[in-house]
């Protein structure tokens, strides 16, 4: 293999792929990026940890075709620090890789390209196009309630589904749940799918979307879109020349519709930042372990209190829009703050049933988001 490529194109494709390479794997080949030529003008970059895979292409002048696997982190660090301009890459004896740029020269070891595992292929799967910014919004509204417990794979990810009319994302860790959706525009192709995407896959999808949004910010007027498909137990997310594949979780997501209360008797309206700031203050004296605070709701008033024998106690009263029967209920302050941080609207509504019923937080006005928090006995 022998080729030349502009540093900016080389670095862009490496940035898209190197983070997926698994440096901790017992299989050394997985810590590499596979470089392979694809015709006279294209260099393909591929990386995988066997659960997550990504490929990207860049324009290059191919003088001799071939494949080579190169340590992902080493190659990224080298290219990032090269001077601007043209970079030459050539495979030399014993799978060595020589990189030149001006008077700079590196020679690093590589591995045979044929040893690199094959990436999942969508084959003839049909892709549907989604609004990238809307998908990014779904992730922002729900990512916080994914479980971090990898022994519970059915919770350590996001349910991503479409029913032909709306696209939604749901996450839960057993203590709280969040659901967000967006309606597809009239005339858009109907889409029906359901996939349980692991947390790492959601993180890489978010990176892909952030790149799409950044390109729009640089003057690209084309709508930011993401194509999606499923095939062979994997989800495929495609944007321009980048394809991300994620091995889906083969588990049953909890029946989330049964967790979301259908009707709450008490609806409390309050400013989002007003509630956020009060919770932050009162949480200073909450137990580090439970984070418990007490909400005492009366007509026109919400009193937030916390008591900790080791630290002290705190109370704050807030004016709220509420005229119903009072209630006292406990919540983990961090769980409430996570919901409030995800919402961007100025005003929220806290919906409550009984002392042992889940609490619901929604933005005030037309909404396609709901945050559910299980109460605490305090």
Beta carbons of 137 and 130 less than 8 angstroms apart: no
Our count of domains for the chain comes to: 3
Q: Are residues 12 and 76 in the same domain?
A: yes
**Boundary-marking domain end, from 256, 279, 313:** 256
**Which of 102, 116, 100 minimizes the C-alpha distance to 49?**
116
355 and 244 co-located in one domain: no
Does residue 250 form part of some domain? yes
**Closest by CA position to 76, among listed 116, 53, 106:** 106
Where does 81-198 have alpha helices with state H?
132-142
CATH number at residue 307: 3.10.150.10
The DSSP H or E segment spanning 326 is none
Same domain, 222 and 333: no
In angstroms, the CA 127 to CA 164 distance is 14
- Burial track 294-311 (b if 16+ CB lie within 10 A, e otherwise): bbebbeeebbbbbbeeee
Domain that holds residue 281: 260-373
Encode the chain (378 residues) as per-residue pLDDT tens digits.
999 999 999 999 999 999 899 878 889 999 999 999 999 999 999 999 999 999 999 999 999 999 999 999 999 999 999 999 999 999 998 999 999 999 999 999 999 999 999 999 998 888 888 999 999 999 999 999 999 998 999 999 999 998 888 899 999 999 999 999 998 765 566 678 899 999 999 999 999 998 888 776 665 566 788 999 999 999 999 998 899 999 999 999 999 999 999 888 999 999 999 999 999 999 999 887 888 999 999 999 999 999 988 889 999 999 999 998 999 999 999 999 999 999 999 999 999 999 999 999 999 977 799 999 999 987
Q: Please say whether the beta carbons of 299 and 266 come within 8 A.
A: no
Instruction: Specify whether 248 is located in the same domain as 268.
Output: no
Task: Please report whether residue 122 resides in a domain.
Answer: no
Given 88, 115, 142, the domain boundary residue is 115
- The pTM score is 0.90
The whole-angstrom separation of Cα 334 and Cα 374 is 12
33-119-168 Cα angle (round to 5): 110
Residue 121 lies in a domain: no
Q: Is 123 part of a structural domain of the chain?
A: no
């Amino acid at each position: 293999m022998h080729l030349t490529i502009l540093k900016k194109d080389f670095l862009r494709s490496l940035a898209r792929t190197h983070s997926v390479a698994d440096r901790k794997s017992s299989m050394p080949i997985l810590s590499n990026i596979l470089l392979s030529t694809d015709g006279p003008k294209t260099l393909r970059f591929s990386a995988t940890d066997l659960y997550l895979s990504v490929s990207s292409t860049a324009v290059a002048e191919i003088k001799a075709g071939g494949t080579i696997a190169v340590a992902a982190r080493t190659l990224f660090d080298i290219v990032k620090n090269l001077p601007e301009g043209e970079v030459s890459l050539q495979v030399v004896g014993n799978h060595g890789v020589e990189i030149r740029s001006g008077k700079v020269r590196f020679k690093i070891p590589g591995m045979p390209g044929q040893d690199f595992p094959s990436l999942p292929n969508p084959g003839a799967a049909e892709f549907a196009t989604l609004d990238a910014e809307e998908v990014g919004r779904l992730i922002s509204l729900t990512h916080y309630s994914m479980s971090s417990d990898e022994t519970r794979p059915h919770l350590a990810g996001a349910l991503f589904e479409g029913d032909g009319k709306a696209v939604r994302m749901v996450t839960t860790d057993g203590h709280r749940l969040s659901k967000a959706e967006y309606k597809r525009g009239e005339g858009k192709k109907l889409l029906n799918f359901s996939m349980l995407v692991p947390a790492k896959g959601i993180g890489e999808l978010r990176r892909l979307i952030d790149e799409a949004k950044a390109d729009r910010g640089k003057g690209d007027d084309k709508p930011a879109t993401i194509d999606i498909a499923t095939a062979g137990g994997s989800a495929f997310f495609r944007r321009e020349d980048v394809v991300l594949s994620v091995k889906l979780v083969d588990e049953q997501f909890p029946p989330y519709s049964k967790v979301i209360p259908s009707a709450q008797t008490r609806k409390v309206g309050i400013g989002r930042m007003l509630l956020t700031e009060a919770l932050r203050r009162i949480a200073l004296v909450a137990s580090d372990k439970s984070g418990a605070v007490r909400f005492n709701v009366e007509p026109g008033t919400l009193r937030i209190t916390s008591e900790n024998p080791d630290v002290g106690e705190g109370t704050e009263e807030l004016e709220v829009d509420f005229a119903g029967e009072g209630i006292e209920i406990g919540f983990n302050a961090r769980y409430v703050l996570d919901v409030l941080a995800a919402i961007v609207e100025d005003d929220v509504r806290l919906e409550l049933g009984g002392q042992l019923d889940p609490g619901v937080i929604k933005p005030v006005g037309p909404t396609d988001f709901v945050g559910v928090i299980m109460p605490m006995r305090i």
